[in-house]
Amino acid sequence: MKYRTLGRTGVKVSRLCLGAMMLGAWGNTDPVECRSIIDAALDAGINFIDTADVYSDGGSEEIVGRALAGRRDEVVLATKVHGQMGRGENRSGNSRRWIVAECENSLRRLGTDWIDLYQVHRPDPSCDIDETLGALSELIRSGKVRYAGSSTFPAEQIVEAQWVAERRGRERFVCEQPPYSILVRGIEAAVLPTCQTYGMAVIPWSPLAGGWLSGRYRAGLAPDQLPVSSRIGRMPQRFDPSLPGNRAKLDVVEALAVLAEEAGMSLIHLALGFVQSHPAVTSTIIGPRTLDQFESQIGAADLVLEGDVLDRIDAIVPPGRTINADDGGWLPTSLTRPWERRRTPGT
């Protein structure tokens, strides 16, 4: 396993990061196998684990915390805050009130005294970024958090956060965690260059595009033969194979499968190698649900694709293009709420 520096922090992290979203009620409910996946990752040299409070309503953090008992110092541990946790108007978002309270909850679930990387899971249009950075700065100065980061922020908000941190004397985001895969290349236009400009680490999520690049989704399969993702109920726009945007992904996968075979590797390794080949990427998050899935991915830890293979990928999915726009992560409310872009008649 090779290691890279997390932005300009001096902290070394493995080129693959174990994502724990599928450990728990959202994916694998077998605590023994979940523990085995974490142990296998550590034994393979992975020293970077990423989770979030919302994953399985805190269950993922609890699983990770139990698995790291006695091995905490070996791991750069990352989690996130923003999503709705339980009932109540103020149990989500990026306010100081919620961040400070939820950090305590995450520390308890993780069974640790500190979080290495505390990330803001999504932007919050209702909250001033200075409010968010102020709360994170206090947590860092108290020793409960070591570094702060963002996740799925557009380039303009990454820039704003850097400027506010400089001008207001706040701790800055040291990394960004965006969606990135062969099927989801939108961040190549602005997010990745922006992170490079500010010396930020990049730790992409969903390099297998939520499983679409696992080899299990194929165009020749009948609808009832395609995998039934546990996320289809929560995110049908991304996982329902009957929708046009997802059918388009199947056609692309077929072309990529041919390329992978000709390149002498699995489609999974092609997908992971693609993400790792971008010079802005620090560590790629893998999110296995089973030990078999982990073993199918760990072999790509040191893989970087040759230029001719990357050129052929560019011919299949042009740089900067996202096949299904719903896979691109967070969208501003100005695009998702019609009433924000329509003047009320008579005004």
Q: What's the whole-number mean pLDDT along residues 187-191?
A: 98
Residue 335 is predicted with a pLDDT of 87
Q: What's the whole-number mean pLDDT along residues 58-63?
A: 98
Q: How does residue 235 score in pLDDT terms, banded at 50, 70 and 90?
A: confident
Q: What's the whole-number mean pLDDT along residues 317-335?
A: 92
Instruction: Give the residue ranges of DSSP H helices in the chain.
Output: 31-43, 59-67, 96-110, 129-142, 155-168, 191-197, 236-239, 244-263, 267-276, 291-298, 307-316, 333-336
Q: How does residue 253 score in pLDDT terms, banded at 50, 70 and 90?
A: very high
- How far is the C-alpha of 268 from the C-alpha of 117, rounded, in Å? 27
CA atoms within 13 A on the CB side of 185: 16
Q: How does residue 217 score in pLDDT terms, banded at 50, 70 and 90?
A: confident
Residue 244 is predicted with a pLDDT of 85
Residue 204 is predicted with a pLDDT of 98
Q: What's the whole-number mean pLDDT along residues 323-328?
A: 92
Q: Which two tokens stand for residue 3?
A: 């290691």
Specify the higher pLDDT residue, 219 or 32.
32
pLDDT at 334 over 90: no
Q: What's the whole-number mean pLDDT along residues 263-280?
A: 97
pLDDT at 99 over 70: yes
Residue 38 is predicted with a pLDDT of 98
pLDDT at 101 over 90: yes
Residue 286 is predicted with a pLDDT of 98
- How far is the C-alpha of 248 from the C-alpha of 219, rounded, in Å? 9
- Coil/strand/helix, residue 45: coil
Per cent of the chain over pLDDT 90 is: 84
The CATH classification number of 3-210+271-340 equals 3.20.20.100
Residue 72 is predicted with a pLDDT of 96
Q: Where are the domains of the chain?
A: 3-210+271-340
Length of the chain: 347
Q: What's the whole-number mean pLDDT along residues 106-117?
A: 98
What value does the mean pLDDT of the chain take? Answer: 94
What is the tens place of the pLDDT at every residue in 280-305? 999 999 999 999 999 999 999 989 99
Active site residues: 55
With contact defined as beta carbons under 8 Å apart, do 292 and 281 qualify?
Answer: no
What is the tens place of the pLDDT at every residue in 14-54? 999 999 999 999 999 999 999 999 999 999 999 999 999 99
Q: How does residue 243 score in pLDDT terms, banded at 50, 70 and 90?
A: confident
